[in-house]
Amino acid sequence: MPDASSFYITTPIFYVNDVPHIGHAYTEVAADVLARWHRQAGDDTWLLTGTDEHGQKILRTATANGTTPKEWADKLVAESWQPLLKTVDIANDDFIRTTDERHEKNVQLFVQRLHDAGHIYAGEYEALYCVGCEEFKPQSEIIDGTGEYEGQKVCAIHSKPLELLQEKNYFFRMSEFADRLLALYESRPDFVQPESARNEVIAFVRQGLSDLSISRSSFDWGIKVPWDDSHVVYVWFDALLNYITAVGYGQDDAAFDRRWPGTHIVGKDILRFHAVIWPAMLMAAGLEVPAKVFAHGWLLVGGEKMSKSKLTGIAPSQITETFGSDAFRYYFMRAINFGQDGSFSWEDLAARYQAELANGFGNLASRVVAMVNRYFDGVVPGAGAYTSADEAVQRVVAEATDAADASIASFAIHDAMSAIWRIVDELNGYITIQEPWVLAKDEASRERLGTVLYTAAEGLRALAVLLSPVIPVATTKLWAALGASALGPLEAQPLRDAGRWGQLPPGASVSPLEALFPRIEASSE
Ligand code: MSP
């Protein structure tokens, strides 16, 4: 079993045929929030992301743009995919490209080992291929075309015509792994999550598995098959291996043992590759299967899966330029149940920004900091005797911390957000009822005023810690304004200990706090 505290989490690696849209950024943010949470909780965390650069799709795009696939990939990685990480504030530990030498070399090693162990054979193949999916399509995903594609077979996902390919290929004996895969899903019910994804995978494998074509010979943009350089490795076989080549497979056993097995966050459209093909590949190689495969849903725009090819694509910067990276991260983690489809709309984003971030949280922070400045000259007061109202706040903070951590452990990011938001609501209600501005008018209530403001400031301290994986920019500002830096940097605060009351030291110097989520003028969309 892996070391209990090791948490290696991956995003899918992204095709560089096009620029990122908010669906890609959504996957990135979810994995990053989970990684930041675990990292801050003290787990030995590693977040991997990267790009998928081989295959026909990239080759065709590069050719259509009058360039080579490598030049095209270099340009897209430098100008679009690396910058995406900044746009939505991803704290990844590594970025792998499938054109990296560490990857190419060890893909060859892996394929050779499978070949040597008898898991690969040469055969003839004729089937319908979707270049959009980079996959030979199963019958269930082939439909009749309509409109301009009338009379042709099209891909159910891309609605584009399939291509009939006929070539000599190398095959992986995947059919031999169906029983072991079913036993895996049975013995580890949380291996594929959520439940709907698990059921889909089990039903698919129960129908029996075919062998998998793992090489192509009609083009050469890929990793050469080591024993036959007229073939390149099938792009998905190549791509899946990034999860192990990035952490030392074939070259650094200590790093590999430390990180692997990993947890994969994927969109539901690529679930089968990760929950069927990938574990079968690992079983064949005698390696451990992943710790977990979690499939999230699609972002829908106007009821359809958002995609560039269907012209519903929205660039992440369109949102962050107006609302900021924190709001992007907050919105998608809060508004969509992780694991289900969710609709994006500008109206919903703007409404949540205003109600939850600006009025709910931002205003709370500004008011409390301003009152400590005004009534206590910027010094956090000590608390006197606690009343039951104060103790209720303490209880909510402790419970919310535990509930949020439990939700994160089960990948229910949206539930973690709701749990944490109980503190925001509790503190807002507390201040309304305690009316510190009334207490401030009477010198006799000075001690009570101190207790109320300490309670509010300490509640904000806990909120800053709990929300830092989601809204790192705003919480860092709040941390500094609260004078909490005396406790060390925000990202060093042990997350699972955030609910322990009384950490903010009385006497800490509070400094003014600019609006964390400023009002957005209506013109912005
Ligand atoms: N290159 C493969 C993955 C290889 S992993 C070994 C790939 N790339 S992709 O760029 O097409 O998609 C990457 C991720 O973005 C997938 O998880 C996919 O589900 C996700 N999304 C693409 N469009 C999306 C939405 N509209 N909504 C949510 N996620 C979506 O597949």
**155 catalytic residue (yes or no):** yes
Looking at residue 9, its amino acid is I
Spatial strand order of the sheet with 224-225 comes to 215-216, 228-233, 224-225
pLDDT, position 3: 46
Residue nearest to atom 23 of ligand 1 (CA): 23
pLDDT value, residue 305:
82
Looking at ligand 1, which atom is closest to the CA of residue 269? Answer: 19
| CA–CA distance, 227 with 232 (Å, rounded to integer) | 11
For residue 115, report the distance from its CA to the centre of ligand 1, in Å: 30
Name the active-site residue from 24, 54, 292, 477. Answer: 24
* Identity of the residue numbered 289: V
Quick: pLDDT tens for 314-359: 999 999 999 999 999 999 999 999 999 999 999 999 999 999 999 9
The yes-or-no answer on residue 105 being catalytic is no
CB-count exposure of residue 492 (10 Å: 0-12, 13-18, 19+): exposed
| Distance of alpha carbon 489 from alpha carbon 379, whole angstroms | 19
Q: Which of 17, 22, 24, 76 to mutate to test the pocket of ligand 1 (most atoms within 8 A of CB)?
A: 24
Decide the pairing of beta strands 44-52 and 6-15.
Answer: parallel
Residues 9/45, Cβ–Cβ less than 8 Å: yes
Q: Residue 5 in contact with residue 40, Cβ under 8 Å?
A: no
Q: How far is 154 from 159, CA to CA, in rounded Å?
A: 5
Report residue 514 as tokens: 């600019």
Does domain 345-497 correspond to CATH entry 3.40.50.720? no
Is 103 an annotated catalytic residue?
Answer: no
Neighbouring-strand partners of residue 292: 263
| Structure confidence by residue, pLDDT tens digits, 386-397 | 999 999 999 999
Give 430's contacts (C-beta < 8 A, 6+ positions apart): 389, 392, 393, 452, 455, 456, 459
Choose, from 105, 153, 158, 224, the residue flagged as catalytic: 158
Percent of the chain whose pLDDT exceeds 70: 98
Average pLDDT, the chain: 95
pLDDT in the model for residue 308:
66
Ranges under pLDDT 70 in the chain: 1-4, 308-312, 522-525
How far, rounded to the nearest angstrom, does the alpha carbon of residue 517 sit from its chain's CA centroid? Answer: 23
Q: What pLDDT, on the 0 to 100 scale, is given for residue 2?
A: 44
Distance 26 CA to ligand 1 centre (A): 10
Helix (H) or strand (E) holding 136: strand 135-136
Tell me which residues have their CB closer than 6 angstroms to ligand 1: 12-15, 23-24, 26-27, 52, 239-240, 242, 266-267, 269-270, 298-299, 305-307
pLDDT at residue 358, rounded to an integer: 98
| Residue-level pLDDT at 307 | 73
Q: 77, 16 in Cβ contact below 8 A?
A: yes
3-class DSSP state for residue 201?
Answer: helix
